[in-house]
Structure 1
């Protein structure tokens, strides 16, 4: 099954194999923690790497967004990127498309692309990117900072990235109106959470941007990193009409598809209403969707009356597998 490596395998094979000890590392590898934080003379440098391996459309724009979102969700202003681009040999025109998207998206965020690597690979049918984003944070906001009594706030609707992927990669197989496809494809322009993170970071106890596995995976990761129970109301989570329509046509859950474009945060209870109001005043759809109800070392997500456990597989993976099988046949 494709997707993220589970927490048990990470604990056994990854987290304890992090090379030499360095006291300057404030936040190293950890479940749910998407960025590292390193104390340097100029402040706290936040660094995060992320791949884009399956989405065929606007891979460069997606790559910039997912890498810079992780840095922003740690309280930093993303400033620099490196980009590794592995491209299909039989589609040389992909180079111009991908690098154009990278350049456009980085310029929009004021981020400099400072290095990387580009090559063609015979085995690839889609571009595969890996981007590393960097920036300084003050203060650094971890995924694992939620405390009992905090409220859980979401900035942005669920499934925005997944909806855009459905509209661009699977439009021919979904019986939905052309206007819905056109509107949903434009969601690629909205998947940065940098503005929302800037509004929340001074008061948030934890922040996390849901990516693979959607909002539910993001909540599970936040709960696990913080060692708490989150109690969430499904109906409180904003979902756009286009997302509902495309997900129904594809038979997938809006809360279990790629979720870039939303930001999860825990904030002190007394600040939650002000946080939502500030986000909405800035034109960012937001809602208070639940609370941190108990300490729980294992991490727990209760959605309405259902206990959700991870890891959560993204509902889009089977669709890509089916598309590849049709292509091969």
Structure 2
């Protein structure tokens, strides 16, 4: 099954195998369930270095354009401004020079838009590949690291933009021809890819947030559950309060998938103290950034970390609803 390695497997085989990190006092946040990035004390004690790596392989035609926000979002939601990038690009042997040109140009454009510098990396051709694979490491600095696991009972849960932004664009581009949806809806939905970065809203929300997170695979539902698990709390969320755009609703209905369980990049999940919520939402509105309060953080009271979604208690990792669609499409070919 494609997708992320399960939290249980990471706990069993990865998180306690971190070299010298356990004894390194500069490592403030290392690998952990749900955490978006690492946090490292600058050697001179002046702030915190935030580091995150992410690959992208499914969108060959826009791998450069999408790779930058996918990688830098994790730095942004940790409270830092993304400043530096390294890029590892693996290309199928025999790839046309125009593909390298297109990817490097897209990387340059996307990095300039977010104000990040590409400072290094590696490129090579690989016989075993049938599509490009791009892996980016993003770095930034902050005076206040915001973890995924910082939610406190009584906080309000906030979501920027809407659920399923990236997933909506994928549905339109990969499955639109086979779905009974107005072509104009698909055209609008494909434009959602230009909204994947959450850096603008993160710069505002980080001043108020106890926790921030970038929902990716498994959508907003998975992102909310990851915050709950990382923070050791329960998130009580009202499904009707979660913003879902008309294009997302139409495409998800046609495909028979839940808009809260498709790729969620483009939205920011955050928890904010009750007394700061109004100011946070007002500041986002002043910046013409969509956001809504969708739930409340609750203590465990003897239970286990969970997403309580309209009464349903979700504790197990959520598989993205688009993977079965891709598998079915491959089986039909």
For 2:313, which of 282, 304, 307 is the aligned residue?
Answer: 307
Distance of aligned partners of 1:251 and 1:120 in 2 relative to their CA distance in 1, 3 Å threshold: farther
**Residues 1:134 and 2:139 aligned together:** yes
Distance 1:9 1:3 in 2: 13
Match of 1:320 in 2: 326
Match of 2:170 in 1: 165
Deviation, structure 1 residue 55: 2.6
Match of 2:186 in 1: 181
For 2:87, which of 83, 89, 96 is the aligned residue?
Answer: 83
Distance 1:52 1:323 in 2: 20
RMSD over aligned CA atoms reads: 1.5
Instruction: Show the 5 A alignment for 1:71-220.
Output: 71-89=75-93, 91-92=95-96, 93-220=98-225
Deviation, structure 1 residue 134: 0.0
The range that moved more, 144-153 or 288-297, is 288-297
* Post-superposition CA distance 1:217-254 (Å, at most 9, x none): 00010000000011000010101111111112222111
TM-score (norm 1): 0.95
Which sections of structure 2, spanning at least 5 residues, go unmatched? none
Deviation, structure 1 residue 103: 1.3
Distance 1:115 1:45 in 2: 17
The range that moved more, 35-44 or 270-279, is 270-279
**Residues 1:258 and 2:263 aligned together:** yes
Match of 1:289 in 2: 294
The range that moved more, 170-179 or 6-15, is 170-179
* Post-superposition CA distance 1:272-301 (Å, at most 9, x none): 122122212211111000000113674111
State whether residues 53 and 126 of structure 1, in contact with CA within 8 Å, keep that contact through their aligned partners in structure 2: yes
For 1:49, which of 53, 57, 61 is the aligned residue?
Answer: 53
Deviation, structure 1 residue 91: 4.2
Which sections of structure 1, spanning at least 5 residues, go unmatched? none
**Residues 1:9 and 2:14 aligned together:** no
> Secondary structure of 1:115's partner?
strand
Deviation, structure 1 residue 172: 2.5
Match of 1:234 in 2: 239
Deviation, structure 1 residue 200: 0.8
* Post-superposition CA distance 1:69-124 (Å, at most 9, x none): 00000000000011111223354243222222211111100111111122223332
> Secondary structure of 1:312's partner?
coil
Distance 1:137 1:298 in 2: 32
State whether residues 213 and 256 of structure 1, in contact with CA within 8 Å, keep that contact through their aligned partners in structure 2: yes
Match of 2:34 in 1: 32
Match of 2:279 in 1: 274
Number of residue pairs matched? 327
* Post-superposition CA distance 1:176-204 (Å, at most 9, x none): 22211111111111111001110011111
Distance of aligned partners of 1:144 and 1:61 in 2 relative to their CA distance in 1, 3 Å threshold: same
> Secondary structure of 1:69's partner?
helix
Distance of aligned partners of 1:236 and 1:90 in 2 relative to their CA distance in 1, 3 Å threshold: farther
TM-score (norm 2): 0.94
